[in-house]
Amino acid sequence: MYERTSKPRRLPPLPTAVLVTLLCALFAALMGAGGYAMTQQQRAPQARPAQPTTAPTRLNVLNWNICGEAGGLRGQRGFCPNRNRPDLTVAEIKAMVAERHADVVTLQEVCGGAPGSHLTQLEAALEPGWTVMRARGTRPDGASECRGSLTGELGVAVAVRGTIVSSVSGNTLTDDPSQSDGQVSPLLCVDVEGWSHRICTTHLLPSNDKRGAEQVTRIAERISPDGKPYVLTGDFNRNSKSLDLVPLTTTLTECKALTQDEETTHHAWDSKGGKHVYRTLDHVFVSRGRDGTKAALSGCGVDRSRMDTTPNEEDTPPNGKSDHAPVYVTVRINR
């Protein structure tokens, strides 16, 4: 027979007051732990989302041949009003940057690469965040040193409100030095961090030089081997309807104001004929986007207030800063 198991002994019931005290203590402990966990979670440092790098949807572009290395005496061919005062030219550029809210400044006939030169002073005058790049050019005699009291080397330059991450420059004249006599007419292109468009500038030979057509062909072939969209500025020494520019004008977009005769960008004085000569030589071209979308331009025009329009005579003071007028264009980038 199995032995009978005795009934378990029951503990004596706790007094009601004690039981209530224990339950309250347990509840407080649980709430305290939960409250601490919630507080810790709220105070935990939150990871900040990465800020996306946004490219501009429009670029305000300024282009100007400052005639900074031209002739120095009034009455002589190629006279430049501010030739020996690079500080005055830089002050004009800085003022235009503020007036036009410029993101890009491209320059021709500019001196750089030495203390006191146009570009050294420009770098100091621009606000932080700008980057300046130059490309060396030469005169027909092969010399690149800026003449007279000027310092540095002759060439073209690009300044951007951003960080230049790469640049390339090359001679638009023949690759055979024996045929160019050492003359360099550069094309300078820069890529800017976060920008969809490459920025390029150049200065072609005068229109009576047959090598100009070859220059245009080389530019069209070499400016964007990777297919990146670009803005091309410069002194082309030709109007938009010139046959020499066909390799560019048939594929690129230009502000209509620069295709009209009344919007001239260059003034010369014909001393023999006693007459003014106005031409449209400076241009801003924009390529199609990667998707084939045609570029949209707005706010484009010519600042003729800074172009000397007086007769180049000894007794006539100039009324401008260069024989070229600055050209300004807003490029609306389709992204």
Distance CA 66, CA 37 (A): 69
pLDDT at 22: 45
Distance CA 90, CA 119 (A): 8
Q: Which residues pair with 110 in a beta bridge?
A: 155
**Ordered alpha helix ranges (H), the chain:** 16-43, 86-100, 118-125, 177-180, 211-222, 246-249
Tokens read off for 334: 């389709």
Mapped onto helix, strand or coil, the DSSP state of residue 213 is helix
pLDDT at 334: 60
> For 253-295, where are the E strands, in sequence order?
253-254, 266-270, 275-279, 282-286
Decide if 15 is inside a domain.
no
Decide if 185 is inside a domain.
yes
Residue 232's closest CA among 212, 209, 211, 255? 255
pLDDT in tens, the chain (335 residues): 333 333 444 444 545 444 444 444 444 444 443 332 322 223 333 333 334 456 678 999 999 999 998 777 899 888 999 989 999 999 999 999 999 999 999 999 999 999 999 999 999 999 999 999 999 999 988 899 999 889 999 999 999 999 999 999 999 998 776 666 779 999 999 999 999 999 999 999 999 999 999 999 999 999 999 999 999 999 999 999 999 999 999 999 998 877 766 689 999 999 999 999 999 999 999 999 888 888 889 889 999 999 999 999 999 999 999 999 999 999 987 65
Distance CA 186, CA 145 (A): 15
CATH number for 262 = 3.60.10.10
Tokens read off for 257: 């104001």
Decide if 31 is inside a domain.
no
Decide if 10 is inside a domain.
no
Decide if 52 is inside a domain.
no
| CB 265 within 8 Å of CB 302 | yes
Its domain, for residue 275, covers 58-332
Distance CA 260, CA 281 (A): 11
Distance CA 308, CA 320 (A): 4
Distance CA 133, CA 123 (A): 10
Distance CA 64, CA 155 (A): 13
pLDDT at 141: 86
How many folded domains does the chain comprise? 1
pLDDT at 256: 81
Decide if 16 is inside a domain.
no
pLDDT at 56: 73
Write the DSSP string, 107-154: EEEEEESSTTSHHHHHHHHSPTTEEEEEEE---TTS--BPPTT--SEE
pLDDT at 92: 98
**Category of 289 on φ-ψ map: left (φ > 0), alpha (ψ -120 to 50) or beta:** beta
Decide if 102 is inside a domain.
yes
Q: How many CB atoms lie within 10 A of CB 75?
A: 14
Q: What's the predicted TM-score (pTM) here?
A: 0.82
Decide if 153 is inside a domain.
yes
